[in-house]
Amino acid sequence: MNPYATLVDFMLANISPEKVLSFRVSEEVHDYFYSLLDKEKNGTATPDEVETINNFMNVEHIMRLAKAKAKQYAHQ
């Protein structure tokens, strides 16, 4: 069983597909993430910052899965 799919199913059982589809991170979070990516690209990111990047990427993956499934629910 895919743990990401399990989380996505839980989200969609408790949050409307429309809310999932409209979710966006704040500008502050967006800017912070891209500043970390710049640091990683330049080789100046700390191990904690690299871990934060990986965590952001995991959350992004989950949200992409959730939004894809929410689109299916919204069109039914």
Contact 30, 70 (CB under 8 A): no
Q: What length does the chain have?
A: 76
**Whole-number pLDDT of residue 73:** 81
Strands (E), 1-76: none
Closest CA to 20 of 75, 65, 76: 65
Mean pLDDT per 10-residue section of the chain, whose length is 76 residues: 83 90 94 97 98 95 93 80
**Whole-number pLDDT of residue 2:** 78
Closest CA to 62 of 26, 10, 1: 10
- The pair of structure tokens assigned to 32 is 């912070």
If you search the block for the tokens 């589809």, which residue do you land on? 21
Q: What is the domain partition of the chain in residue ranges? A: 3-74
